[in-house]
Amino acid sequence: MLAIRGLTVAFGRRPPAVRDVSLDLDAGQRLGIIGESGSGKTATALAIMGLLPEYARVTGSIRLDGTELVGLSDREMSGLRGDALSMVFQEPMTALDPTMTAGRQVAEAFRLHRDRDVGRARTAVIDMLAAVGFDDPDRIADSYPHQLSGGQRQRVVTAMALVNRPGLVICDEPTTALDVTVQATVLRVLDEVLDAAGASCLFISHDLAVVSQLCSSVVVMLDGEIVERGTTEQVFHRPQHPYAAGLVATARLDLLEPGTRLPTVADHLRGAS
């Protein structure tokens, strides 16, 4: 359903942030994108969403269900955003408007693309808030963002992204700002609603364990390029590229004897050269 070919994103005169990236995502598939800060994960996501600043130069092809997204006008793109594809951002406090109730923000996405009727929108919103695990969706719908906890806000953002049942949901570090116990809840909810909606998902994270829980396949990005791709099982158990091997080794604290020296990415890159 999503086919990216030769995607390159450049900002000004600097070397491209994303270089010749190609990837495919089937309907219902979940693909994790892992890499460190500056590796091009978020720039890739924003290119798909059409949310890059104007001065970014995007070349290559991004096809969603056969529609070419590269080169679409802002108006055409905003017709798709929130409907055919949507995004869950890292910081729920900045993704939500502090002056609007949670329910109205979820309703806005629905009324814009689906049905102007306020009553039917309210029903859809309450159903969606219940789907993301709220026992009291009516109270949540009438709350302002500041009245909600971080985990509740992130579930509201998830409800906004999924209320129109988009075919593709892009999650950019959706649980990075959350406490671990809250993260566990949000991940479980995300897993359930993605399944229920049958949505495909690009899941961006620097946390390899989180990716392993949610995604069936993974790509590893380094300096704007994909250096490793495969099933989650392949990439985490038999990584081929030395950088990917280093990243996996350094993240597997659970396999190490406490107090021992941690393997680093540099060890693996040195071993390879």
- Cβ nearer to another protein, comparing 74 with 233: 233
Q: Indicate the residue among 107 and 189 with the shorter CB distance to another protein.
A: 189
Of 54 and 257, the one with the shorter C-beta distance to another protein is 257
Pairing state of beta strands 200-205 and 30-34?
parallel
State in angstroms the smallest separation of the CB of 8 from another protein: 24
Rounded Cα distance between 211 and 139, Å, is 32
- Please provide the size of the chain in residues: 273
Question: Taking a C-beta distance cutoff of 8 angstroms, is the pair 226, 54 a contact?
Answer: no
Task: Spell 195-214 as b/e; 16+ CB within 10 A means b.
Answer: eebebbbbbbbbebebbbbb
Looking at the DSSP assignment, which residues form a beta bridge with residue 183?
A: none
Q: Which of residues 160-199 bind another protein (CB under 8 A)?
A: 179-184, 187
DSSP-assigned beta bridge partners for residue 229? 219
Does residue 213 bind another protein (CB under 8 A)?
Answer: yes
Give least dist CB 265 to another protein, A: 4
**Site membership for another protein, residue 93 (CB under 8 A):** no
Among 236, 239, 241, 244, binds another protein (CB under 8 A): 236
Contact pick of 92, 212, 220, 229 for another protein (by CB under 8 A): 212
Beta bridge pairs of residue 57: 10
Q: Residue 154 interacts with another protein (CB under 8 A)?
A: no
Residue 7: strand, helix, or coil? strand
Q: Which of 27, 118, 196, 266 binds another protein (CB under 8 A)?
A: 266
Q: Which stretch binds another protein (CB under 8 A): 52-60, 69-77, 132-140, 264-272?
A: 264-272
Number of residues that bind another protein (CB under 8 A): 39
Q: Does the protein bind another protein through residue 210 (CB under 8 A)?
A: yes
Verify binding: residue 29, another protein, rule CB under 8 A.
no
Applying CB under 8 A, the residues found at the interface with another protein are 36-37, 150, 179-184, 187, 206-210, 212-213, 216, 231-233, 236-237, 246-247, 250-254, 256, 258-259, 261-266
